[in-house]
Amino acid sequence: MEPKHGRILLVDDESAILRTFRYCLEDEGYQVATASSAAQAEAVIQQQVFDLCFLDLRLGEDNGLDVLAHMRVQAPWMRVVIVTAHSAVDTAVDAMQAGASDYLVKPCSPDQLRLAAAKQLEVRQLAARLEALEGEVRKQDDGLTSRSPAMMGILETARQVAVTDANILILGESGTGKGELARAIHRWSKRASKACVTINCPSLTGDLMESELFGHSKGAFTGANESTLGRVSQADGGTLFLDEVGDFPLAVQPKLLRFIQDKEYERVGDPVTRHANVRILAATNLDLAEMVAKGAFREDLYYRLNVITITLLPLRERPEDILELAERFLAQFVTEYARPARMFSPEAREALSSYHWPGNIRELRNVIERASIICPEESVQPGHLGLDYKESPTNSPRIGSDISLLELEKAHIAAVLAHSETLDQAARTLGIDASTLYRKRKQLGL
């Protein structure tokens, strides 16, 4: 029998019933744990995650309604089915009003138990799927609306090119939302009904990248115990997103180039040439042109990826969006964590607006998530944000300030970088060549 998905907790003080229920449900393929008291149930719930609990209302000296109330706090996602005798049906109805999902009357048949489990687990799985979809919707919106005229123009361009099949290279600093934009472009495209498959390039070596990208046949290398399709095959008809493509292994770049040009590839260990109709989106926070000049990235691959370039603005260059994004994130997280915060104090709003946001939207999201968790009141204060905004380049030192020449140089270079679209442009502004700027960034920790 194929194993069924579902983790079930049985709570009853009669060992014979626990044993019977457990065998019945384990025979169906479910993962089952048992507890014979309220204390045992609480300990087990703290150690494991369950989808469903069958709870006996009469647990010796423990009150089943009290146990149910604790469960609703400890594991609000867990479905609870009350198990009761004929004489306590009224109490079972009270339990359902208190949050139980259903009840069973003892003695019950194995079929009744299996049917109840299947029904509740299906509801739980649907709820989990809905939560995941809602999470995707939230992610899709992160940073993809704007009051900044420049950012609005960038998003409009993205919508226009999305309907084509052109390869798109998305540039921007870390945390600016390159992945979110790539997924949005897929949704806006004629390929939206097919998959958008992501490969995180920095996480894979050359050999692993080739296998991950194109798949492999069984026995192709040590540990290849079965054949795999590869991400290209999974994305057939849809979109392949190469996240942080600047870290794509140099040794595998010729094979990627060939696939982009001819839509043909071979799996590792399999000579059969295959075809896949895939649109390529790529993103990086690196200067690929500079990498090409240094021989760290293939020039022909760069031009194939760079048919259309979209450069996302750092958050500091779209200050109109900071507070709106912060409020959106706050509303999201206080709902998720059931916390009391509802707004930002004027001082907190000033702190958010004054901070430089080197980590961009990702940093803003993390800061607001933390604040929503630790804030015990309705209004978020600056201390809940944990921002050292006094060191932000928006409050950077001025000429003649009581600082060292090195500190002044660092502040000036940081400011120029903040307002330059590329390293080359920043180097021209500073009157130095790009390689010198590259070294200074390393030295100064920028």
pLDDT tens figures, 92-147: 778 888 888 888 888 888 999 999 999 999 888 787 666 655 555 544 455 678 88
- The confidence score (pLDDT) of residue 1 equals 41
- The confidence score (pLDDT) of residue 418 equals 64
* Closest by Cα among 195, 194, 196, 234 to 214: 234
- The confidence score (pLDDT) of residue 3 equals 45
Compute the distance between CA of residue 57 and CA of residue 44 in angstroms, rounded to an integer. Answer: 18
- The confidence score (pLDDT) of residue 401 equals 56
- The confidence score (pLDDT) of residue 392 equals 45
Helix, strand, coil % in the chain, rounded to nearest 5:
55, 15, 30
pLDDT tens figures, 304-347: 999 999 999 999 999 999 999 999 999 989 888 888 999 999 99
- The confidence score (pLDDT) of residue 250 equals 94
* Closest by Cα among 3, 2, 8 to 119: 8
- The confidence score (pLDDT) of residue 394 equals 44
Low-confidence spans in the chain with pLDDT less than 70: 1-5, 86-89, 128-143, 222-224, 227, 388-403, 418-422, 445
* Closest by Cα among 342, 188, 167 to 261: 167
Calculate ∠ Cα 326-75-31, nearest 5°. 125
Indicate the helix (H) or strand (E) that contains 125.
helix 110-141
pLDDT tens figures, 55-76: 998 888 888 888 888 888 777 7
